[in-house]
Chain A
């Protein structure tokens, strides 16, 4: 029980790594920086593993396991509505999953980075930020109340800002970092108001208290939006910003300016999934706010399809993956939104494996190509970098949802829940299904353009080489997980149990809506699973294969076909190619007007003309009316001061006289 009694150790390790490297690493050799950075995360992972072992021996009643360390914020403690926030951590099944994903994928990416970043300036800085990120991400998932969660939430945003702008000499990188931070802060504005409303409603922002109080309240219905719905929607807007959903997704594609390991860890595997985690964590509230839940599902499904369409036409290998991430996050929200929280978290986990792998493999490609990211300047890399090719292919099969690979199980569960679960919605299912087909298409497009066909680059100039071991081994491990990570749900196909959702079940059934609903929930879990045949020939599989075939047709068989198609639907092509001009629209409708108004109306208008004009005008009138006393106006500031004081006294006497008369 060492770690259960000292949860803080898990956080202290990466924080110490960040502090040591950040303060001392500048003068150290790379090997020393490496051992601190990797050592701290490896120890954190071991600590998590030990924690999980200890956790498995806890009785159900002891979960969630909460530890409180010190009172962090306290005000109004003697009043009727005291505000007291403890620095408190908790562990339950959901936390366990998230901690494992964060620490393990984080560890692999730390190792990978020692190869990828080997020749970079500011090596120590990179690893200090990466460790700091691990610390904040673990804080986010281990928090026992909304405020501590918010610390992690903002902290990972800060690390994202620092790491996107890691190559700060490039203006585009610095711009992208700033855009990421500010866009997510727009969401955080609503998130903050959500916390305020939650405190006002429940008198506490500790998860246990909030959920307990919510369980005693009359739940909102689909036709009645009460305070629970408002809280859930406000918090969800925060998730929209953090997890890059419509309409606040615009920062994530730009975030690809950061080094590729950062894209893999922060902008694919972990940070961007914080919104999904938050919704799952708040499930007792969302389950009592059907309108908010429906909104989650709609935003998720629409984003899943929308950004998949943008992914179709991207030429930058990382941008394809970025839009793909936005789209996959949409699936996770769709899962949560139709009430299948476990499926959403399952997809979060498998996505961390295969999307982390996709980014790392893309990084390996970019590394091999000497920095080139345009897929149309690649081609035929299959033989030259075989490890990268095979691992990336596995990840592609996984994300496309080909049966047997991890993504198949998790995406299928989400679509299944959207199709026939308790909150099923056929329209949303259809959006998700089309998106799945598009996903398969753009991912195989990526594979074919990059690895197949003839090289479209000058082979004499670009020396293509496989990456070193410290990069390929993490690829191999993630490839393994991209296949077998989904098999936790395998017995489900044969009518057995889904280990993953069974494990998570206590989190999502701890606060049942009503006794009847509890019975239904357990009945649902016990209901016979879909048949193997049905599952393997289901719609998601069919559209995935269609997508694969079309990609094969377009990019292997008849490479002129895409151009012909683009010409025949030119307007649509231009619209999608330019990402629906959303960035331009935001700039024209929000950014520029705001800057113009601030400059010309507020600053030069109100401040300088109106207020200062009035002040200076008064001063001038006073001066001119005092014209007869001009000789006293020496222009000397001190003499003005004297006059002011004399004036003050005179004015006072005058006023006193007036007041006296009034009385």
Chain B
């Protein structure tokens, strides 16, 4: 047996390990708490870049796999990434240092707790992206919630308790359904291991269409809440408005992608015929989200709430691209997840810098800010332009790939979605104008300081990422292609099989219940073979 790479374990647990270092420090030693948190997260980013070096973009299988028995015979510690999760891991490790930097001076109470939460979230999110065992996945999935709940509830703004409870209620509701589905799948297949379940569903006993629909629904609901897909989005504006800046950056930048990632990782490959059946409905909801989110964003008075609604609109694009089931549109969707993470994360960073100065998000409290803060406002505009998909910046590439891919099979969907581009110009430029242009209306604003060195560093880093992702997109998309193709291939194979089975109903047993034990051991040996390969 070949020695397994430990890279993914290191990347996943390094933030958690550095939490231990933080805990040793005195809680009033803010300087060193910040420094260590930052150093750990930067080291984490650098180490995660090693993934790029070892990643084979022509290989459709999961890479950097680690497989150990964990609890009993059927729950494994199984990690691995493919072209879909690779960049999401990098996105997480890229944004976390920025989130730490932006909280440098704005968190005053319980500084240690705050950075501990941030680092725990990082571990949890990476864990979600690299888990190949459903049980492990679920553990990480739930682990993301608790620190975020505390972040909103403890370091948030006025209505933080309401927002935190709403956040946790919504997502927990989804989690419960997903847990049920996971347990059901275990009963059916005898394992929690994702590749084994995939193989089982592809070669073993197919699910009945009704069951598949139910399971798909349970998974999808959990993910759709997270995304959030219209009409499950109302927790998001509250959560964002009340969360501290770093919380919003992580929430918008990475956490929402847990939902779209989950859809790609589970809903499509495991339940392809249900996904196909539900695609028109979901696409319509996604399109409603695009237009509706944009329209509601336009009329917001609160800058953070406005940016939150733009996420509803942008994530609508991602979901639409996924359910268009074309390689181009799914590559676009994955790319758009990254773009949204960078651009919307950056928008929240900029809004947070305003908040640090004025302690408000109300648009009417600003106006004419270009006079006191020309540099911050210039960056703000640049970020807004990337978010409204101005070519050649990053947002354009993602949106356009989604549109091109979707248009191949669904003209109307793509045309409706394209209208989002007009609306995004409206809400962003209008908001920007009210913040940055015109005369300075509030006397306090006249003397606001422009960006500090720390803030400038943050903004330069995100601006560089925006440009880089705009001009060098093939570096990203080509690494996604093989995995995307493989997933779509797997889907269509399964669909064909299901159709075959439907055509010959007599041949296919209507309901086979495998004796749990035997399937279990059979799969266990199968798994060993797999790892040995």
List chain A positions with a Cβ less than 8 A from chain B.
71-79, 81, 83, 147, 150-151, 154-155, 158, 161, 165, 168-171, 174-175, 177-178, 181-182, 185-186, 188-189, 192-193, 196-197, 199-200, 594-595, 597-599, 602-603, 606-607, 611-612, 615, 619, 637, 640-641, 644-645, 647-648, 651-652, 655-656, 659, 663
Return the chain A residue nearest B142 by Cβ: A645
User: B421 interface residue, CB < 8 Å from A?
Assistant: yes
Whether A77 lies near B481 (C-beta < 8 A) is: yes
Report how far A152 CA is from B122 CA in the complex, Å. Answer: 39
Interface residues of B in 248-304 (CB under 8 A from A): 292, 295-296, 298-300
What are some 10 contacts across the A-B interface (CB < 8 A)? A73-B477, A75-B401, A76-B331, A602-B292, A607-B234, A641-B168, A644-B168, A644-B172, A645-B172, A655-B180
Nearest chain A CB to B426 CB, angstrom units: 5
Report how far A77 CA is from B332 CA in the complex, Å. Answer: 13
Whether B179 lies near A169 (C-beta < 8 A) is: no
* Given the contacts A78-B485, A192-B418, A656-B183, A648 and B172 also touching, CB distance less than 8 Å: yes
Measured between beta carbons, the chain B residues less than 8 angstroms from A178 are 429-430, 433
Whether B481 lies near A169 (C-beta < 8 A) is: no
User: B407 interface residue, CB < 8 Å from A?
Assistant: yes
Measured between beta carbons, the chain B residues less than 8 angstroms from A71 are 474
Nearest chain A CB to B70 CB, angstrom units: 20
Interface residues of B in 405-424 (CB under 8 A from A): 405, 407-408, 411, 414-415, 418-419, 421-422
User: B73 interface residue, CB < 8 Å from A?
Assistant: no
* Given the contacts A77-B478, A79-B328, A602-B296, A193 and B414 also touching, CB distance less than 8 Å: yes
Return the chain B residue nearest A122 by Cβ: B374
Report how far A147 CA is from B426 CA in the complex, Å. Answer: 22
Cβ-defined partner of A189 (8 Å) among B149, B176, B422, B481: B422
Task: Give the residue among A75, A177, A611 with the most B Cβ atoms within 10 A.
Answer: A75
Whether B439 lies near A599 (C-beta < 8 A) is: no
Measured between beta carbons, the chain A residues less than 8 angstroms from B371 are 169
Whether A154 lies near B429 (C-beta < 8 A) is: no
Cβ-defined partner of A185 (8 Å) among B298, B422, B473: B422
Report how far A71 CA is from B476 CA in the complex, Å. Answer: 12
User: B437 interface residue, CB < 8 Å from A?
Assistant: yes
Whether B165 lies near A73 (C-beta < 8 A) is: no
Report how far A171 CA is from B149 CA in the complex, Å. Answer: 42
User: B32 interface residue, CB < 8 Å from A?
Assistant: no
Contacts A171-B439, A644-B172, A663-B511 supplied; 11 other A-B pairs, CB < 8 Å: A75-B477, A76-B481, A154-B390, A174-B437, A181-B425, A181-B429, A185-B421, A186-B422, A192-B421, A594-B295, A640-B168
Whether B295 lies near A598 (C-beta < 8 A) is: yes
User: B204 interface residue, CB < 8 Å from A?
Assistant: no
User: B526 interface residue, CB < 8 Å from A?
Assistant: no
User: B209 interface residue, CB < 8 Å from A?
Assistant: no
Measured between beta carbons, the chain B residues less than 8 angstroms from A182 are 422, 425-426, 429
Whether B403 lies near A196 (C-beta < 8 A) is: yes
User: B510 interface residue, CB < 8 Å from A?
Assistant: no
Nearest chain B CB to A658 CB, angstrom units: 10
Measured between beta carbons, the chain B residues less than 8 angstroms from A186 are 422
User: B161 interface residue, CB < 8 Å from A?
Assistant: yes
Measured between beta carbons, the chain A residues less than 8 angstroms from B411 are 197, 200
User: B184 interface residue, CB < 8 Å from A?
Assistant: yes
Whether B170 lies near A196 (C-beta < 8 A) is: no
Measured between beta carbons, the chain A residues less than 8 angstroms from B327 are 75-76, 78-79
Whether B418 lies near A193 (C-beta < 8 A) is: yes
Cβ-defined partner of B418 (8 Å) among A165, A196, A644: A196
* Given the contacts A594-B295, A597-B295, A652 and B176 also touching, CB distance less than 8 Å: yes
Report how far A178 CA is from B438 CA in the complex, Å. Answer: 12
Whether A615 lies near B478 (C-beta < 8 A) is: no
Whether A171 lies near B438 (C-beta < 8 A) is: yes
Return the chain B residue nearest A165 by Cβ: B437
Whether B231 lies near A75 (C-beta < 8 A) is: no
Whether B176 lies near A72 (C-beta < 8 A) is: no
Report how far A158 CA is from B165 CA in the complex, Å. Answer: 42
Pairs of residues from A and B, 7 with the lowest C-beta to C-beta distance, nearest first? A174-B437, A76-B328, A76-B327, A168-B437, A598-B295, A196-B407, A75-B331
Return the chain B residue nearest A153 by Cβ: B391
Whether A615 lies near B326 (C-beta < 8 A) is: no
User: B370 interface residue, CB < 8 Å from A?
Assistant: yes
Report how far A612 CA is from B471 CA in the complex, Å. Answer: 41
- Number of residues from B at the complex interface, CB < 8 A: 72
Measured between beta carbons, the chain B residues less than 8 angstroms from A175 are 433
Whether A78 lies near B481 (C-beta < 8 A) is: yes
Measured between beta carbons, the chain B residues less than 8 angstroms from A181 are 425, 429
Report how far A606 CA is from B433 CA in the complex, Å. Answer: 28
Report how far A75 CA is from B414 CA in the complex, Å. Answer: 17
Report how far A607 CA is from B309 CA in the complex, Å. Answer: 11
Measured between beta carbons, the chain B residues less than 8 angstroms from A177 are 433
Whether B172 lies near A75 (C-beta < 8 A) is: no
Measured between beta carbons, the chain B residues less than 8 angstroms from A154 are 390-391
User: B244 interface residue, CB < 8 Å from A?
Assistant: no
Measured between beta carbons, the chain A residues less than 8 angstroms from B197 are none
Whether B425 lies near A185 (C-beta < 8 A) is: yes
Whether A199 lies near B437 (C-beta < 8 A) is: no
Cβ-defined partner of A151 (8 Å) among B385, B392, B438, B477: B392
Nearest chain A CB to B380 CB, angstrom units: 13
Return the chain A residue nearest B471 by Cβ: A72
Whether B168 lies near A75 (C-beta < 8 A) is: no
User: B104 interface residue, CB < 8 Å from A?
Assistant: no
* Given the contacts A151-B391, A169-B439, A612-B234, A74 and B298 also touching, CB distance less than 8 Å: no
Whether B400 lies near A73 (C-beta < 8 A) is: yes
Report how far A656 CA is from B168 CA in the complex, Å. Answer: 23
Cβ-defined partner of A155 (8 Å) among B391, B401, B404, B426: B391
Report how far A611 CA is from B296 CA in the complex, Å. Answer: 14
User: B513 interface residue, CB < 8 Å from A?
Assistant: yes
User: B169 interface residue, CB < 8 Å from A?
Assistant: yes
* Given the contacts A76-B331, A77-B481, A189-B422, A652 and B437 also touching, CB distance less than 8 Å: no
Measured between beta carbons, the chain A residues less than 8 angstroms from B292 are 602, 606
User: B175 interface residue, CB < 8 Å from A?
Assistant: yes
Return the chain B residue nearest A179 by Cβ: B429
Task: Give the residue among A73, A147, A178, A200 with the most B Cβ atoms within 10 A.
Answer: A73
Report how far A245 CA is from B349 CA in the complex, Å. Answer: 40
Whether A611 lies near B234 (C-beta < 8 A) is: yes
User: B229 interface residue, CB < 8 Å from A?
Assistant: no
Whether A169 lies near B437 (C-beta < 8 A) is: yes
Whether A196 lies near B404 (C-beta < 8 A) is: yes
* Given the contacts A75-B327, A150-B391, A181-B425, A197 and B401 also touching, CB distance less than 8 Å: no
Return the chain A residue nearest B374 by Cβ: A26
Whether A161 lies near B477 (C-beta < 8 A) is: no
User: B436 interface residue, CB < 8 Å from A?
Assistant: yes
Nearest chain B CB to A650 CB, angstrom units: 10
User: B83 interface residue, CB < 8 Å from A?
Assistant: no
Report how far A640 CA is from B404 CA in the complex, Å. Answer: 46
Return the chain A residue nearest B485 by Cβ: A78
Whether A652 lies near B180 (C-beta < 8 A) is: yes
User: B153 interface residue, CB < 8 Å from A?
Assistant: yes
Whether B421 lies near A75 (C-beta < 8 A) is: no
Task: Give the residue among A76, A151, A174 with the most B Cβ atoms within 10 A.
Answer: A76
Report how far A188 CA is from B403 CA in the complex, Å. Answer: 14
Report how far A612 CA is from B170 CA in the complex, Å. Answer: 11
Nearest chain B CB to A374 CB, angstrom units: 24
User: B102 interface residue, CB < 8 Å from A?
Assistant: no
Cβ-defined partner of A168 (8 Å) among B231, B370, B390, B474: B370
Report how far A427 CA is from B321 CA in the complex, Å. Answer: 47
Cβ-defined partner of A603 (8 Å) among B299, B422, B438, B477: B299
Measured between beta carbons, the chain A residues less than 8 angstroms from B397 are 73
Interface residues of B in 428-484 (CB under 8 A from A): 429-430, 433, 436-439, 471, 473-474, 477-478, 481-482
Measured between beta carbons, the chain A residues less than 8 angstroms from B328 are 75-76, 79, 81, 83
Measured between beta carbons, the chain B residues less than 8 angstroms from A193 are 414-415, 418
Whether A656 lies near B390 (C-beta < 8 A) is: no
Whether A640 lies near B165 (C-beta < 8 A) is: yes
